A and B are shown apart, each in its own frame.
Chain A
Amino acid sequence: MYTLTNVTKTYRKGRETVMALDGVDAEIGDGEWLAVQGPTGHGKTTLLQILGGLDRPTSGTVELDGSNLGAMPEAELARVRAASIGFVFQTFNLIPTLPAAQNVELALAPLGMDAAARRERVALALEAVGLTNRARHLPSELSGGQQQRTGIARALVKEPTVLLADEPTGNLDEGTRDEILALLEKLWRERGLTLVVVTHDSVVAHRAQRIGQMTDGKLVIGQTT
């Protein structure tokens, strides 16, 4: 469970100070699906990065299951990301030189699993996203939807409790978007994930249980749908 208390994040941009997050308070329950909408540059991605321990708040606290992510040493944060948090990116962020299976396997590297266990997990993850027959393909040999499926497999192969998705359908056509959404929803239900999706797309947002609106760094979360 996430608890955000008066979280601010400021950046220096030249001589200006930009307030990316401005006093965000929120609770995101275990197994909940929250969508965050808002215009570009209003703090959605910053919020996601802070939830994922990729960045630290300037002030305020971000607690995941009672642990303050902002106060953790970097090594401990890396451990939390490795074990508990999966990321899905708009641009997929697959390593272009690695086949799909090895891209997925990268997520298991920090967990110290033996090779046989890793291979088994990777096979299951690719099966879950319907890509068993594309395991040996490079990202450049996959369609956009297949690349995003690989990204989702990579995020879920370590069996995290939290999945953070930044515009996961932003680079896909409508048909593929619906496929990816259906896949995310299925995996969310099956695995009891806490899912936070940042999106511009109202179709995507309305699949979530709650929708948060991000404007000028302030987050307002609506009622449960």
Chain B
Amino acid sequence: MTIFLTYLRCELRHRPWQAVITGAGLAVGTGLVITVSATTSGVRNAQASALHALASSVGADAGSAPGNLPGVVNDAIASSAGLAADLGTWVALAALAAAFTLAALLTLAGVTRRVTEFGTLKALGWRAGRITAQVLGEAAAVGTAGALAGAGLGFAGAALVTALGPTLTVTVIGTTAAGGPQDKPVPVHFSAPVSPGIVALAVALGIAGGLLAGALGGWRAARLRPAAALAQVG
């Protein structure tokens, strides 16, 4: 265990750039999942607030909304909110997929660069499983750090969306003191609440991305024939 940790520490210390780029990619992917999810929740909450306000405007008590709204209005609001949520989900998934791909490619490139090193380890009697574990461990450490940093990015992103999010105004028809009709603006505050469940899921996905990259890299490193790996020297 000590050798494993020393090797890991020295790799990260003396060859940091690959780890930084891989971790940053996973962090951005993880952060986007959290931010987009929080924004989607915010859109849904805003939709619910708007529906309540509109329900009030048609004379029903807010507690019975949105059933008292004309179906076409209800459907239109629900469908626009759903469209925004779907679009956000796809953007987040695309970002996460890009982060996974980047992590996998960088890890494989790292293994290719270290072919002679792994050939040497095999010459020293390291079994394929130990080399796989080393590569996997390095990738898992980078993935975990990236995912945790991504959680921070996600919270920051959600806070930014909340800070920059517009306060929407729903104009409903109220009544004057004399009983006549009157336009009445109702503010709908937009915020992007972060769900602990989504944070846990996003961090797990980020770590999974690191592990996936490590598994691919470890598999490639383990398959190297020592003679062929050493033949690449000079």
Contacts and interface: CB of A to CB of B under 8 A. Distances in A.
Interface of A: 45-46, 49, 52, 54-55, 74-75, 78-83, 85, 87, 89-91, 93, 95-99, 102, 105-111, 115, 118, 138, 154, 158
A206 to B, nearest CB: 25
A78 B233 contact: no
B128 A93 contact: no
Nearest to A154: B124
Given A89-B233, A97-B15, A102 B7 contact: yes
Contact of B125 (A49, A91, A110): A110
Nearest to B7: A98
Interface string B1-30: 011001100110111000000000000000
24 contacts: A49-B230, A54-B123, A54-B227, A55-B225, A55-B226, A78-B125, A81-B123, A87-B123, A89-B230, A90-B233, A90-B234, A93-B116, A93-B117, A95-B7, A95-B10, A97-B10, A97-B13, A98-B6, A102-B3, A102-B10, A106-B124, A109-B3, A110-B124, A110-B125
A36 B233 CA distance: 20
A129 to B, nearest CB: 17
B117 A82 contact: no
Contact of B234 (A91, A105, A107, A158): A91
B227 A49 contact: yes
B70 to A, nearest CB: 68
Nearest to B121: A106
B68 interface: no
B189 interface: no
Which DSSP category, helix, strand, loop or mixed, fits chain B's interface? helix
Q: Which range holds the interface residue count of chain B?
A: 20 to 34
Contacts of B6: 98, 102, 105
B137 to A, nearest CB: 13
Interface of B: 2-3, 6-7, 10-11, 13-15, 116-117, 119-128, 130, 225-227, 230-231, 233-234
A90 B120 CA distance: 12
The listed residue with most A CB atoms (<10 A of its CB), out of B116, B123, B225, is B123
A138 B10 CA distance: 10
Given A49-B226, A78-B127, 7 more contacts: A52-B123, A82-B125, A93-B117, A93-B230, A95-B120, A106-B7, A138-B14
A11 B162 CA distance: 65
Nearest to B3: A109
Contacts of A49: 226-227, 230
Contacts of B10: 95, 97-99, 102
B123 A97 contact: no
Contacts of A81: 122-125
Contacts of B128: 74, 78
A159 B18 CA distance: 36
The listed residue with most B CB atoms (<10 A of its CB), out of A45, A54, A55, A138, is A54
A3 B117 CA distance: 30
Contacts of B116: 93
A33 B6 CA distance: 36
Shortest Cβ-Cβ A-B pairs, 4 listed: A82-B125, A97-B14, A55-B227, A81-B125
Contacts of A45: 231
Contact of A110 (B2, B11, B130, B234): B130
B227 A109 contact: no
